[in-house]
């Protein structure tokens, strides 16, 4: 049996951030990082660029091998953890080996949700989640091939953009009545959908696939409207779900996600959790939810690492922010931006349909709870600060902020200038990847 003091299961942003935090506080005790894939830890959001050829797989690794050695971290690749004995403080690997630990972090992330559609098991379906997907998809993504993307959330958007750029004929289907339904309101989604269609994607909104069938050597998807969509390549982008497989048999409290304390400790002493697998209060909407976001995973991982090393941990402050581009159309959303008709709230909207240009703020109970910027992202950093810090706002100040009026400028300048001057935070773990060295100057208050 092997032994370690710190064991971290999962080598995504939460796991890497936790390892960094532990080593900042404790450079001596043994630390093992378990990565279930054969590929060294990498940035999942950039997997799509490995598919298109914009980057090599080796270009999206989070840390060089030398970094783990320099930090005194034993990195285990390709031998997944398959079981936990919480009472004996041991983990079991797929190989059958066991490892004893004193402190354990489970940062297992999320896995693709596969919908129970009849016939799906009879057709070749792919996700766009890991390096194995890239290896299996690349030979199929030939110019002229017909691709069907099921689901138009953030991953589906990545997929349809990449496939279109590779010369495939792309049909994208979304069961809900708008694209990006988890982050965009109806009007913003309409602008996004028009941009997608303008770039040659056959977009089917409010359409459900009810069956997959094999047609000779080909395949088709049958919709609830009776249409048949032929395809050569199928991408499932139907959402993600927390990977709770290790928790449920270890006596750890689990609901929608894993329950954790402010120190990221689970219901079992000595076992911590961080990242997409955890459930945490969402103050904006007054409910518990999984905060599946790279920044949130990094923050939770850092807190878990600090707690495991026995140092005072920072307070977890979740980020409700998305920044994306749809065929060159920039969009930033924050808070409960997806809600179409918020109740008992001040809703401020500005639009120029021809550009297109669209902004919306929602203020409820004297606090900013949502903002959307389409094709104009000036000032987003300042508003993110107001939302994150729950800064009290009167309706008059909110209106002035929306139009860059004198009262809003004075409010920000006199009370919050220093806080927003730095723009948006970006996690340290992304600094090695050029694409994520963001220039955030356009999001500052000015």
Read off the pLDDT of each residue in 382-408 and give the average, rounded to a whole number.
Answer: 86
When comparing pLDDT for 112 and 442, which is higher?
112
- Provide the CATH number for the domain formed by 2-111+241-308 in this structure: 3.50.50.60
Q: DSSP per residue over 38-96, as a string?
A: SSPSB-GGGHHHHHHTSS-GGGGBSS-HHHHHHTTEEEEES--EEEEETTTTEEEETTS
Which range of 103-112, 250-259, 312-321, 398-407 scores highest in mean pLDDT? It is 103-112
- For 327-365, the pLDDT digits (tens) are 999 999 999 999 999 999 999 999 887 778 899 999 999
pLDDT for 420 equals: 56
Lowest mean pLDDT among 190-199, 249-258, 266-275, 331-340: 249-258
pLDDT value, residue 429: 44
Q: Of how many residues is the chain composed?
A: 446
Which pLDDT score, from 0 to 100, does residue 247 have?
87
Q: For residues 63-72, give the mean pLDDT.
A: 93
* CATH topology identical between 2-111+241-308 and 120-238: yes
In this prediction, residue 102 carries a pLDDT of 97
Q: What is the pLDDT of residue 430?
A: 45
Classified by CATH at the fold level, domain 321-443 comes out as: Enolase-like; domain 1 (3.30.390)
The residue that leads in pLDDT, 376 or 61, is 61
Q: Give residue-wise pLDDT tens across range 131-157.
A: 999 999 999 999 999 999 999 999 999
Going by pLDDT thresholds of 50, 70 and 90, the confidence category of residue 377 is confident
Average of per-residue pLDDT across 217-227: 93
**Phi, then psi, of 17 in degrees rounded to 5:** -65, -40
pLDDT score recorded for residue 436: 47
| Global confidence as pTM | 0.90
What local confidence, expressed as pLDDT, does residue 57 receive? Answer: 86
pLDDT of 313 reads 93
CA dist., res. 327 & res. 203, Å (int): 14
**Mean pLDDT within 185-211:** 97
What is the pLDDT at residue 419?
60
Q: What is the pLDDT of residue 288?
A: 85
Confidence (pLDDT) at 438: 47
Residue 312 confidence (pLDDT): 93
pLDDT over threshold 90, residue 229 = yes
The domain limits of the chain are 2-111+241-308, 120-238, 321-443
CA separation for the pair 417, 409 (Å, rounded): 10
127 vs 19, 432, 439, CA distance in Å?
Answer: 29, 26, 31
Contact assessment for residue 262 and residue 304, using Cβ atoms and an 8 Å cutoff: no
pLDDT at site 427: 46
Q: What is the domain class of 120-238 according to CATH?
A: alpha beta
């Amino acid at each position: 049996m092997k032994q370690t003091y710190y064991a971290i299961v999962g080598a995504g942003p939460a796991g890497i951030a936790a390892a960094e935090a532990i080593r900042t506080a404790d450079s001596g005790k043994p630390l093992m990082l378990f990565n279930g894939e054969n590929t060294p830890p990498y940035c999942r959001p950039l997997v799509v660029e490995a598919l298109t050829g914009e980057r090599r797989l080796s270009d999206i690794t989070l840390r060089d091998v030398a970094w783990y050695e320099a930090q005194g971290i034993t990195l285990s690749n390709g031998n997944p953890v398959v079981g936990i004995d919480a009472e004996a403080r041991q983990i079991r690997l797929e190989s059958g080996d066991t490892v004893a630990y004193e402190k354990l972090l489970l940062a297992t992330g999320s896995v693709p949700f596969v919908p129970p559609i009849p016939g799906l098991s009879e057709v070749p379906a792919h996700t766009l989640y890991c390096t194995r997907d890239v290896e299996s998809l690349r030979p199929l993504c030939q110019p002229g091939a017909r691709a069907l993307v099921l689901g138009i959330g953030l991953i589906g958007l990545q997929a349809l953009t990449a496939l279109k750029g590779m010369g495939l004929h792309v049909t994208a289907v979304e069961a809900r009545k708008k694209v990006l339904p988890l982050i965009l309101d109806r009007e913003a989604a309409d602008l996004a959908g028009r941009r997608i269609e303008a770039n040659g994607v056959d977009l089917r909104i409010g359409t459900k696939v009810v069956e997959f069938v094999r047609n000779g050597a080909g395949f088709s998807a049958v919709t609830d409207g009776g249409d048949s969509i032929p395809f050569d390549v199928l991408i499932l982008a139907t959402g993600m779900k927390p990977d709770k497989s290790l928790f449920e048999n270890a006596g750890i409290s689990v609901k929608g996600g894993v329950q954790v304390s402010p120190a990221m400790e689970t219901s079992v002493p000595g076992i911590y959790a961080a990242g997409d697998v955890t459930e945490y209060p969402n103050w904006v909407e007054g409910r518990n939810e999984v905060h599946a976001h790279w920044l949130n995973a990094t923050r939770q991982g850092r807190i878990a690492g600090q707690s495991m090393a026995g140092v005072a941990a920072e307070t977890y402050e979740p980020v409700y922010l998305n920044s994306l581009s749809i065929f060159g159309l920039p969009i930033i959303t924050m808070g409960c931006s997806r809600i179409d008709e918020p109740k008992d709230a001040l809703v401020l909207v500005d639009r120029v349909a021809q550009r297109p240009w669209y902004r919306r703020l929602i203020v409820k109970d004297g606090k900013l709870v949502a903002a959307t910027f389409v094709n104009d992202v000036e000032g987003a950093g300042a508003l993110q600060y107001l939302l994150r810090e729950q800064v009290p706002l009167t309706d008059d100040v909110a209106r002035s902020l929306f139009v860059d009026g004198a009262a809003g400028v004075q409010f920000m300048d006199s009370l919050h200038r220093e806080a927003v001057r730095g723009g948006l935070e970006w996690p340290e773990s992304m600094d090695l990847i050029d694409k994520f060295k963001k220039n955030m100057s356009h999001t500052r208050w000015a």
